[in-house]
Amino acid sequence: MDSITHLALGATLGELMLGKQLGKKALAIGAIAQSVPDIDFVAAAWLTPAENLIAHRGFTHSLLFAGMVSLFLALIADRWHRRRHVFLGNWWIFFAVQLCVHLFIDGFNAYGVGWLEPFSHLRFSFNTLFVADPFFSFGVGLASAVLIFLKRHHFHRTRWAILGIGLSAAYLAYSVVNKITIDQSVRSESRLRGFNTNRYFTTPTPLNNWLWYVVVEDQNGFQIGYRSVFDNQLELKLEYFPKNDSLLNRIHDHESLQRLIRFSQGYYTVALVRDTLVFNDLRFGQVGGWQNPRAPFVFHYYLDHPEENTLLIQRGRFAGWNTETVRSLCKRIKGN
């Protein structure tokens, strides 16, 4: 999830777990602890863009990292707060919960999380929440804001923390139901059309959980479309994109390309744009694809000019957005 949501979630959990012992300090400590796994962003200073793709949400988002760092932080906190009646075991549980919740929530986005690093490079991604979903963030965001201003001994502090976490948890459960509904629809229609239902994925479009981006693989490429949970029309409108991986033959052995293929989990296309080979990772969607079926993909990597690849995941995500784009998104969410 986005950093602000992690801060709010960490603060709210902090209040729930140690608020009575630490007061408002629990909010700050929780927010900081929840953000620790994202320390991997500093690696971008010395890694190439392709290397950084693999490093991000890698080891610092692993269960091994969570176990080691939670113990380390507990030892520091125990030494720092010995007069606060919080025992070492309580600190360890507190930090372990904060870190594991961060890892768990990030697993619901499309990027993928290396829970088993360094023993396995398998990435876990449930493709259930957009990386910044204001409806998921609302509960913990509201609660953490209220908790900042409530007096330390106010008798409603615990209730606010439970309410905030409960609202976000309920929305997460609702998003899982939407995911199951959309997946069942895609599998059913794919079978009717003779597509390979073993290779497909669905993920939410920006800032909501009602309109879903759909990618279905066939022998030579991918069928791409959009499905709203409110759609009445059975047929899913799809646009075909050839994989074009034959264009990679001359650079197939390049290390950066192998990292990109591994990172994309095989969901990629290659295009020749003005004499430049462009690698598109399909998992992050298109720029306004519900409005323009042939819209460019958010994630694109210039294979011939690697020095131009900066801010890979975010590049173009909201490029060209205006009032009409938002209006068309809302209209498509309502269903066809």
pLDDT in tens, 10-25: 999 999 999 999 999 9
In the chain, the percentage of residues whose pLDDT exceeds 90 is: 72
* Residue 204 near residue 133, CB atoms below 8 Å: yes
Could you state, in order of their start, the residue ranges of all structural domains in the chain? 3-175, 195-336
pLDDT in tens, 251-272: 888 888 999 999 999 999 999 9
pLDDT in tens, 100-158: 999 999 999 999 999 999 999 999 999 999 999 999 999 999 999 999 999 988 989 99
CA 178 to chain CA centroid, Å, is 16
pLDDT in tens, 214-251: 999 988 899 999 999 999 877 789 999 999 999 998 88
Buried b (16+ CB within 10 A) or exposed e, 27-63: bebbbebbbbbbebeebbeeeebbebbbbbbbebbbe
- Which pLDDT does position 235 carry in this prediction? 79
The model carries a pTM of: 0.93
As a whole number of angstroms, the distance between CA 10 and CA 29 comes to 8
- Which pLDDT does position 67 carry in this prediction? 97
As a whole number of angstroms, the distance between CA 173 and CA 84 comes to 36
As a whole number of angstroms, the distance between CA 69 and CA 36 comes to 9
As a whole number of angstroms, the distance between CA 105 and CA 331 comes to 29
